[in-house]
Amino acid sequence: MSSLPPNRVRTLRETAQLSQQALADAVQITRQSVHLIETGRSMPSVDVALRLAHALDSTVETLFGMATQEQVLWSESASPAITGRVALAHLQGRWVSYPLERDLAGRSADALVTRSRGRKVEVELLRSVSSLSEQVVLMGCAPALGLLADRLNARSGSGRFLWLSRSSTQALQSLARGQTHLAGVHLTDAKTGIDNVPDVRRHTRQQDVAMITLASWEAGIVLAAGNPKGIHQSADLRRRGVRLAIRESGSGARRLLERELARSGGSVASLFDDPLEVRGHLEVAAAVCMGAADAGIATKDAALSFGLPFLPLAEERYDLVIPSELQSEPRMQRLLDLMTALTFRKELSAIGYDVRCCGERVTKESST
């Protein structure tokens, strides 16, 4: 006699007019395993329960109630030496863990790391499997992605959205590894001057992706209140005594800094004072605001967020890169619909974004 709580797998399978073998094939398990699960003699793993729910157009909770006693699973680590509290997402048939650190320290965790094995970590779940399988990861450095995630999460509908602040190059690398649903990029190619397309093409050679413009913005120098160092052009950043907050390598802001310094015959290595390296446009502005730096390369919205003076240097296009197979997925459709909604566009305009190109498609073959 079964000691496991009853489940609804057989009921929903028969409603869907599927044989045990057809369901087994869809879930990639044996017919005998389906039989054991239906009769309550076996409890599926979290991954199998999730696949069963998907095949039967249901949820894990509907199929098993709280019967899924296994609250531990192995996941792929999105960062080296990951420990402690993590966020989780289900991508391309496997789980991925992301550390909750820095700007995510105040976010409640999806799971806790219990042990690690190379790039794999075992985690104890703190949320239901169904809610975690709905999570959508947005990677990029634009604060607008955080606003987008916040608005989506405040509304009813499919998906739960998580913004992870990463440089454009890191976001593209994660997309290529299947560790994010979306990558936000602003990378001007040094040789051609073309925005984003060369880098997206280079990182996604084996993927079919769509590029959709979120907005354009001004990138430039965030200055301390009152501009006490008298910085009026990029060449002034090379003066002795000017402390810079700079973005990490691979970021669009770092590329812009290197390009501007090169124009005056300098480089990051030639700066008189060792720069303070930070992650994200908002961290650049925060460092300047707190007096840890005199200036830094970031975007206009970051300067506005801290009420700081801003010296524009370039206009850049910020594109969202999405695997083509996800475009028609309900969660991504919600995101794209809200992105082009009038209320969201007005909010972006209020913080310095140019939204006239919002929603336009860009092709990887583009050369202009």
Q: Give the pLDDT of the chain (368 residues) as one tens digit per residue.
A: 445 567 889 989 888 899 999 999 999 999 999 999 988 888 788 788 888 988 998 888 788 875 444 578 889 999 887 889 999 999 988 899 999 987 788 889 999 999 888 889 999 888 888 788 899 999 999 999 999 999 999 998 889 999 999 999 999 999 999 999 999 999 999 889 899 999 999 999 888 999 999 999 999 999 999 999 999 999 999 999 999 999 999 999 999 999 999 988 889 888 878 899 998 999 999 999 999 999 999 999 999 999 999 999 999 999 999 999 999 899 999 999 999 999 999 999 999 999 999 999 997 665 44
**CA-CA-CA-CA torsion sign (176, 178, 179, 183):** positive
Structure tokens that stand for 366 in this block = 């583009």
- Cα(213)–Cα(150) distance, integer angstroms: 19
What confidence score (pLDDT) does residue 364 get? Answer: 64
- Cα(341)–Cα(338) distance, integer angstroms: 5
SS3 state of residue 120: strand
φ, ψ of residue 186 in degrees (nearest 5): -145, 90
- Cα(209)–Cα(245) distance, integer angstroms: 33
User: In degrees, to the nearest 5, what angle opens at C-alpha 253 toward C-alphas 291 and 299?
Assistant: 65
| DSSP codes, 51-100 | HHHHHTTS-HHHHHTT-----EEEEEESSTT--SEEEEEEETTEEEEEE-
What confidence score (pLDDT) does residue 4 get? Answer: 59
DSSP state of 263: H
State pTM to two decimals: 0.79
CB neighbour class for 270 (10 Å; exposed up to 12, middle 13-18, buried from 19): exposed
What confidence score (pLDDT) does residue 337 get? Answer: 95
What confidence score (pLDDT) does residue 1 get? Answer: 44
What confidence score (pLDDT) does residue 95 get? Answer: 93
What confidence score (pLDDT) does residue 3 get? Answer: 52
SS3 state of residue 163: strand
What confidence score (pLDDT) does residue 367 get? Answer: 45
- Cα(145)–Cα(299) distance, integer angstroms: 14
Structure tokens that stand for 141 in this block = 């450095």
H/E segment holding residue 41: none
**CA-CA-CA-CA torsion sign (94, 99, 103, 105):** positive
